[in-house]
Amino acid sequence: MKTAEEIFTALEEMFGAKRETLDRWGVTAVVSAGYLHNAVEFLKGTAGVELNMLVDVAGIDYLTYPNYEGPRFAVSYSFKSTVNPGLRFRLKVLVSEANLKVPTISDLYANANWYEREVFDQFGIVFEGHPDLRRLLNHVEFVGHPLRKDYPAQKRQWLSTNDYLLPALEKRLETLGYRIVERSKEVGTNDNEFLEGSIKE
Amino acid sequence: MTAEAEKPNIITSSLDFLVNWGRTNSLWPFPYGTACCAIEFMSTEVGRYDLSRIGSEYVRFTPRQSDVLLVAGTITYKQAPILKRIYEQMAEPRWVIAMGACACSGGFYDCYCTVPGIDHIIPVDVYIGGCPSRPEAFFDAMFDLQKKIKDESYMKQRADRVKEQLEMIKAKTAEAKACAKDFAHEKVEELKDFVMEKEQNLVKKAQFWKE
């Protein structure tokens, strides 16, 4: 089993990771977006490290952060190991406002799928290669990204339609080998009627 | 419609009494529980507090079979159309209780995602404060609602319902009258012109013959 410091030196050698000075209690490695996928693969697969649990993916907006210079956004990944007890590690990717792109890690960790959707929803950071990058928490008609510091916190946006999930559900059932024999009357959508069909085929 | 038809008489008042008695003592709630207030409602419903003592025997999880929509918890903007749709699905004598601070006013969620009070979406009959409200407060709200239902009158509702029709009829009658008046005026003026022309012709003819 390696300690977090050893993992950091390994990352420093392989991917040119830098130590995050703001993190006073643990070890946080800042890697560039290009090396992120490889770094995560290294953390997950290497013997002695085996950080096989993704605890959280969080977006950060440094717009109003005091005495900070650098790119505006960051995405922070927290990892934990279930094989090596007590081993935790954090990765951080800095994202500039001009290029809001980070490679996805949802092919390595299945739960990263929803975490990345949440970060996309709240901060507008685009995860390249994500299978289904839609909003997770806010509704479909929401404009803007509410956890950005320049979003007015009390700006409210009404949703005019109901989530109509049946077409998506039917599609998924059909991919699993089911066949739709008949639909009940209520299922058909009527565009003129209020409160119907936010997801359309 | 005469004033007599608006007044309650012995038949409608006794019918009111019977109907209101029935409705008062069989308020079946539909719990729309999204937060901790729903837990308080559960404790209100079961053994120790026992909501069925005042006739709310069943909690119905379908809007078709329930009378009271109990909104217990925070309503976000994503939830709002769903809540509205459930309210619209309920059969007509329906009442709404907003339980807890969140349902009443949005509570401390003063942010981009929470509806500031469900009265922005649906009409509310009784508000209960508290975060979450105690079962006693919920009972109090139910008693308030029962009082409200006991005051309901068929004739009053009918008068309200017919009022619009009556006003519409009155407006239409006035419109038709105005129309007829205009038409009559036009006709009269036409006739006047006609008569004047005839007179002038006659005068001309008379002058011609004189000459």
What's the pLDDT tens digit per position in B22-56?
999 988 999 998 989 999 999 998 888 888 888 88
Q: Of B130, B129, B114, B112, whose CA–CA distance to B74 is shortest?
A: B114
Residues of B numbered 122-181 whose beta carbons fall under 8 angstroms of chain A's beta carbons: which are they? none
Question: Which strands, in side-by-side order, build the sheet including A73-80?
Answer: A18-19, A28-31, A88-95, A73-80, A53-61
Confidence of residue A191 (pLDDT cuts 50, 70, 90): low
Chain B residues touching A137 at Cβ < 8 A? 78, 113
Q: Which residue of B has its CA nearest to A164?
A: B82
Q: Does B116 touch chain A (CB under 8 A)?
A: yes
Q: Does A143 touch chain B (CB under 8 A)?
A: no
Total structural domains in chain B?
1
pLDDT at A190: 56
Inside any domain, residue B54: yes
Superfamily (CATH H level) for A4-159: NADH:ubiquinone oxidoreductase Nqo5 subunit (3.30.460.80)
pLDDT per 10-residue tile (average), chain B, 211 residues:
65 86 90 91 88 85 90 91 88 90 89 90 91 91 91 78 82 92 93 94 91 80
CB-based burial of residue A114 (10 Å sphere; 0-12 exposed, 13-18 middle, 19+ buried)?
middle
Give the closest of B77, B110, B111 to A158, CB-based.
Answer: B77
- Within 8 A by CB and 6+ apart from B102, the residues are B35, B37, B73, B74, B75, B109, B114, B131
Q: Of B162, B125, B114, whose CA–CA distance to B147 is shortest?
A: B125
| C-beta neighbour count of B37 within 10 angstroms | 27
- State the residue range of the domain holding B25: 3-152
The residue ranking higher by pLDDT, A180 or A34, is A34
Question: HSE (CB half, 13 Å, CA atoms) of B19?
Answer: 13
Q: Does B63 touch chain A (CB under 8 A)?
A: no
Contact at CB, A153 and B112, closer than 8 angstroms: yes
- Within 8 A by CB and 6+ apart from B24, the residues are B55, B146, B149, B150
| C-beta neighbour count of B44 within 10 angstroms | 23
Q: Does A197 touch chain B (CB under 8 A)?
A: no
pLDDT > 50? residue A200: no
CB A110 within 8 A of CB A130: no
- Within 8 A by CB and 6+ apart from A19, the residues are A8, A27, A28, A29, A30
Any idea what the CATH number is for the domain that residue B122 is in? Answer: 3.40.50.12280
Mean pLDDT of A26-55: 90
Confidence of residue A195 (pLDDT cuts 50, 70, 90): very low
CB A74 within 8 A of CB A93: yes
Q: Does A139 touch chain B (CB under 8 A)?
A: yes
pLDDT at A59: 93
pLDDT > 50? residue A201: no
| pTM for the model | 0.75
Q: How far apart are the C-alpha atoms of B160 and B173, rounded to whole Å?
A: 20
DSSP bridge pairs for A56: A78
Chain A residues touching B84 at Cβ < 8 A? 195
Domain ranges of chain A: 4-159, 161-201
pLDDT at A170: 85
Inside any domain, residue B173: no
Chain B residues touching A161 at Cβ < 8 A? 81
Inside any domain, residue B31: yes
Contact at CB, B81 and A153, closer than 8 angstroms: no
